[in-house]
Amino acid sequence: MGIVDPLLTVRESARILQISVPTFWRRVADGTVPKPVKLGGLSRWPESEILAVIEQAKAARIK
C-alpha cells in the first residue's frame, strides 16, 4: 500500500487555511481552492491539495 492522502472535511480544510467555512466555499467558487472530491453526498479534499494552496500562495508572493 502506498502513501495515504487523507481526505479532509470542509471544516478541517478551512481550519488548515485559517479561514471561515463560508470564506472557504467562496475560495472554491473563485477557483483558489480546488473543487471537492464527491463521495456520495459528501465533499472532501485531499490534504495534499489544501497544502498545495498554501504553497501556491507562498510562491505567488515572491513574484
29: CB partners within 8 A, 6+ apart: none
**Rounded to the nearest 10 degrees, how much is the dihedral formed by the CA atoms of 49, 8, 45, 17?**
-50
Query: In the structure grid, which three cell numbers stand for residue 25, read together?
Result: 466555499
Higher pLDDT, 31 or 61: 31
Residue 63, pLDDT > 70, answer no
User: Taking the model in full, what pTM does it have?
Assistant: 0.89
Identity at 18, one-letter amino acid code: Q
Residue 62, pLDDT > 90, answer no
Note the pLDDT tens digit of each residue in 16-50.
999 999 999 999 999 999 999 999 999 999 999 99
- In 3D space, the residue among 48, 55, 53 whose CA is nearest the CA of residue 32 turns out to be 53
